[in-house]
Amino acid sequence: MMSKSMKAFWVLHDGSRIEAAVPQGLSLMEAAMAANVPGILGECGGTMSCATCHVVVDEAWHGSTGEMGDHEDAMLEITEAPRREGSRLSRQLAMSPAQDGITVQVPRD
């Protein structure tokens, strides 16, 4: 049985948007890489050692992304783009029905 795909939206620094269907359980980093979202590199493959999957979760979706762990919190201190409220590593955001329609911003750097 195939899992239901949900929608995710990435807003780039120039205001353009990329939309993709994301299967439940897939991380937003993996979905961004499959959709060729510029600025989401995932150089470490999701091991939380590079922070190249930094996104800023739209305020309306803060409650749907779960708690940030200590290691993710520390990694966000070394991102190229400055950390902001809602900053997360997209590898740590696994798609779920509660996130259907989630919007994240891709930082400029």
> Contact, 109 vs 76, CB < 8 A?
no
What mean pLDDT is reported for the chain?
92
What is the tens place of the pLDDT at every residue in 42-98? 888 878 888 899 999 999 999 999 999 999 999 999 898 999 999 999 999 999 999
Instruction: Give the CA-trace dihedral at 11, 15, 20, 25, to 10 degrees.
Output: 0
- Please tell me the predicted confidence (pLDDT) of residue 1: 44
CATH code assigned at 33: 3.10.20.30
Laid out side by side, the sheet with 5-11 consists of 17-23, 5-11, 102-105, 54-57, 87-89
Beta bridge pairs of residue 20: 8
Number of compact structural domains in the chain: 1
Q: What is the DSSP letter of 44?
A: T
- Other CB atoms within a 10 A radius of the CB of residue 1 amount to 3
* Joined tokens for residue 21: 């269907």
What range does the domain containing 40 cover?
A: 5-105
